[in-house]
Structure 1
């Protein structure tokens, strides 16, 4: 079992679901499976409960239920369609030009990967609900840790001294959930700890969410633990800086304003916080990425542990899914030999990014022997190339503890992305320094043992988009990147099965946002559907 913040041991597992079934979920119109209220004053008689309840907010990113990997704590939502990291991967990666899922009878996947989704898609309901549950859990923690509540309980000075940082972490996790809602759906039910329980929540659009996220993350800066000084798996200042850099890089999409100079500012803050690239690119995606030197590159992970947090999250899905139907290479990556029988492959447009200049690049994990590059029939698992980026093996030659549920943490944010964001923001007029931007790109290539370093003349926006694909594939960034570059909708860039055409067809512009799930609108009359749906 990996050593991590105890949210991923049994106690945190239980606390997540104690918190889930309280009335706090009602403030965001989430329907838990059990409506009893168990988060009582008795819980806080033991002062360790405060850290445990905080743990539940983090646990919601990885866990879905109390009865094993297939259980869900949300009514009428399956575990496989509501695990936070998994649905994030689906909406940001499966919907774009890098990934194909073979088993289209899995609920929602066919519509997502063919770009024919509707408001009834269960994966979209899972994403919407899971993000709002993060918000509800954070609000609950903040309600239970006010000065008045702590005074009533006569909480000790030692616990109270930790509370400003705990509350700041809770607010950060809530802001991150609102960030993903802003990016994916363009709106969210908006509630803070100051709103009464069981009230009908107002709806915030992108402009209001942007303003809230920005002000909230700046406001908590003083109380957050310094970068790289918190327990592994917990958020710190650098996570807040990362979200700020992300919203500033995408501000033109979100609010129609240029914030590239702000993006540069926060990239510099992260880079100046002591992070370093892992010595080996693939260390970031191995079963011991919490202890090998990837821990110096990963800014924030979604934790996975094959013993204590068994779930069908993104790394379990990708490692089992990328085992080839022909290759049967599961034992190489620490799962069963056949894995999931060729569930995942890559689309032709992504495969074509790896020309001769990348033949020996460590980031190039494509396996193509005996395979056609084209996928003309999605159900034909022997067609299309596969990749072997993620692994349940360790950097020291061992393997994770389980052959299905992997130990590999999902690197939600890492330093390499910051380098690429800096270079892009520089090119978009945000300031910074050209030599520095070139240096960051070359640092990534050098780390990957690619001798083809670049010069200033190579640094263009088109180059950045392709380099982001090569460095960050299958890390839940691609849809956002394509939208920012004006290539997700429309017909100026088509990929295999875009818009349900085998060679790709144009998408209407309203597909830059997902629809609001029908069930979510039914729960809150203030929610309205996004245009076009």
Structure 2
């Protein structure tokens, strides 16, 4: 067994040296592949299982599929030169995605890489004589269930096998749902309750079970004209949400944007996340994806700027505007946080480098920030950073202000560089080697606010318990007290209001697509999108996967409508 184990470790060597996920124990690398203790060998099996997550959650993979396909995000062909990418982002937003979309292919491949690594760990860990192996085995099993849940959610199928050399069995619908459910339930007893939020814990599985039960009606009958939410499923949602809440391990964050800060590995609201700390080679680009190419968030890095990526749609913005009219939506501290005082006081043009932080949330109108000339940032006479009005200098349009407009679409005007309000939810890292390409904020998968909102939804769907749902929603709203005023309490609650509230609380967190499907809104009309085909609720299986299985006639069949 030892010889086989060391061969497995050597095969994973390159995986262990890049993109590792930190455990409470030492992170292993390729140099430690020989002469391992049993404990180190167990660790070396679980590390690759998590190592897929940072790549999966990059901006053009899982994010693009689950946000740009919705009413929250749109990515036009910027200025006629940027983000064309053969029209894949336009197709994603209009629901004209195809089986050759490279982002779909990459997301599919990364998920199945995670499943493969999970299976390797599941088959190897039972032979390792160390107490940690039992916990790691449960983590690997729970992670395989999670990866399978992603394939069911996005592609409508899962692949099942216990023997690495065998052909996987393909399951869809209720069979796939039941498999994932049973795997989570089987893993849960041996999981720890006391690990970092970058690892599968009991509480992480409880949160994922709540999410699974909440979407049971969708996963079991994907193309239904109307979903039927079983009372017993909603009871289970409430049960598992209660378990997370009553564990006492989590707290709603008084400062909303602290959940997405560079140092959020200690944030007590997060239940499960992609661990992206600097010492783990974090490389998400969530912070830079939406910003202008002429916004520079870090005085330390003259090359760290935005990329003029996706904006929010006017339709999504109007949900905020309509909810708070006649007041501006920035009265809700989840919408916006001002860090640069020049926005309130035009004379505040000099900021110490250590105190320079760009604004967070949904960014509108004329933008101010660091001014770069000839490769350096301009400074005030006292050595502080000069802050001023921004123009599109990096786009060779020095007279075009970085003035974000509500209008954004696929017209010439609507796809210009300033078009669309932008989102700066995750903080730019002040610790990475480049500032731009490496983001160390852990990417949230499950957090406590979502637990409360799932419980509220289950109460509404099960018995129309509007009072109970309202109490959960208002509890979340009232918790954001770091900046006053906190969002005002709502006076009533129904499913449409709850959908709106999920959009306010969870925007840009890659839950919008599944929310829209579950609430019956994915076939709706919004900016540049009119497709109403329910077959588009799931994505096509990548053509590369179909081709790879072509020697097995009838084995892997393309999803309907593609």
* TM-score, normalised by the number of residues in structure 2: 0.74
Normalized per residue, which structure has more strand?
2
Alignment partner, residue 510 of structure 2: 476
The answer to whether structure 1 residue 409 and structure 2 residue 442 are counterparts is: yes
Alignment partner, residue 222 of structure 1: 189
Alignment partner, residue 519 of structure 2: 485
**CA shift digits 1:473-517 (9 cap, x unpaired):** 11000010110111112xxx311122xxxxxx1331100111111
Alignment partner, residue 380 of structure 1: 416
Q: Are the aligned partners of 1:494 and 1:506 in contact in 2 as well (CA < 8 Å)?
A: yes
Alpha-carbon offset, residue 105 of structure 1: 2.6
- 2:280 & 2:420 partners in 1: Cα distance? 35
Alignment partner, residue 305 of structure 1: 277
1:15–1:196 CA distance, 2 compared to 1 (3 A): closer
Alpha-carbon offset, residue 338 of structure 1: 6.7
Alpha-carbon offset, residue 436 of structure 1: 4.1
1:12–1:381 CA distance, 2 compared to 1 (3 A): farther
Q: Which runs of 4+ in 1 moved over 6 A?
A: 11-14, 332-335
Q: Are the aligned partners of 2:265 and 2:277 in contact in 1 as well (CA < 8 Å)?
A: no
Q: Are the aligned partners of 2:204 and 2:272 in contact in 1 as well (CA < 8 Å)?
A: yes
Q: How do 1:144-183 residues align onto structure 2 when only pairs under 5 Å count?
A: 144-146=124-126, 149-150=127-128, 155=129, 159=130, 161-183=131-153
1:333–1:470 CA distance, 2 compared to 1 (3 A): farther
Q: How do 1:123-138 residues align onto structure 2 when only pairs under 5 Å count?
A: 123-138=103-118
**CA shift digits 1:84-103 (9 cap, x unpaired):** 67511111111101112344
The answer to whether structure 1 residue 366 and structure 2 residue 332 are counterparts is: no
Alpha-carbon offset, residue 298 of structure 1: 0.5
- 1:320 & 1:240 partners in 2: Cα distance? 31
- 1:480 & 1:301 partners in 2: Cα distance? 18
- 1:58 paired residue among 37, 50, 54: 50
Alignment partner, residue 117 of structure 1: 97
- 1:219 & 1:136 partners in 2: Cα distance? 19
- 2:313 paired residue among 337, 343, 347: 347
1:284–1:402 CA distance, 2 compared to 1 (3 A): farther
- 2:68 & 2:85 partners in 1: Cα distance? 13
Aligned residues: 448
Alpha-carbon offset, residue 189 of structure 1: 2.4
Q: Are the aligned partners of 2:271 and 2:446 in contact in 1 as well (CA < 8 Å)?
A: yes
1:239–1:319 CA distance, 2 compared to 1 (3 A): same
- 1:413 & 1:297 partners in 2: Cα distance? 9
The answer to whether structure 1 residue 495 and structure 2 residue 526 are counterparts is: yes
Alpha-carbon offset, residue 383 of structure 1: 1.3
The answer to whether structure 1 residue 140 and structure 2 residue 172 are counterparts is: no
- 1:176 & 1:186 partners in 2: Cα distance? 14
Larger Rg: 1 or 2?
2
**CA shift digits 1:167-203 (9 cap, x unpaired):** 00000000000000111001122223xx251x33221
- Secondary structure of 1:382's counterpart equals coil
The answer to whether structure 1 residue 98 and structure 2 residue 65 are counterparts is: no
The answer to whether structure 1 residue 249 and structure 2 residue 214 are counterparts is: yes
Alpha-carbon offset, residue 337 of structure 1: 7.2
- 1:201 & 1:517 partners in 2: Cα distance? 17
1:245–1:232 CA distance, 2 compared to 1 (3 A): closer
Alpha-carbon offset, residue 411 of structure 1: 0.7
- 1:444 & 1:329 partners in 2: Cα distance? 32
Q: Are the aligned partners of 1:104 and 1:110 in contact in 2 as well (CA < 8 Å)?
A: no
1:172–1:86 CA distance, 2 compared to 1 (3 A): farther
- 2:17 & 2:447 partners in 1: Cα distance? 29
Alignment partner, residue 322 of structure 1: 290
- 2:190 & 2:280 partners in 1: Cα distance? 31
Alignment partner, residue 531 of structure 1: 560
**CA shift digits 1:360-382 (9 cap, x unpaired):** 11111222224331113354121
Alpha-carbon offset, residue 392 of structure 1: 2.0
1:401–1:375 CA distance, 2 compared to 1 (3 A): same
The answer to whether structure 1 residue 461 and structure 2 residue 508 are counterparts is: no
- Secondary structure of 1:231's counterpart equals coil
The answer to whether structure 1 residue 265 and structure 2 residue 239 are counterparts is: yes
- Secondary structure of 1:407's counterpart equals coil
- Secondary structure of 1:359's counterpart equals helix
- Secondary structure of 2:446's counterpart equals strand
Alignment partner, residue 512 of structure 1: 537
- 2:479 paired residue among 447, 469, 493: 447
1:349–1:338 CA distance, 2 compared to 1 (3 A): farther
Unaligned runs of at least 5 residues, structure 2: 1-8, 19-29, 222-228, 336-360, 366-402
Alpha-carbon offset, residue 332 of structure 1: 6.3
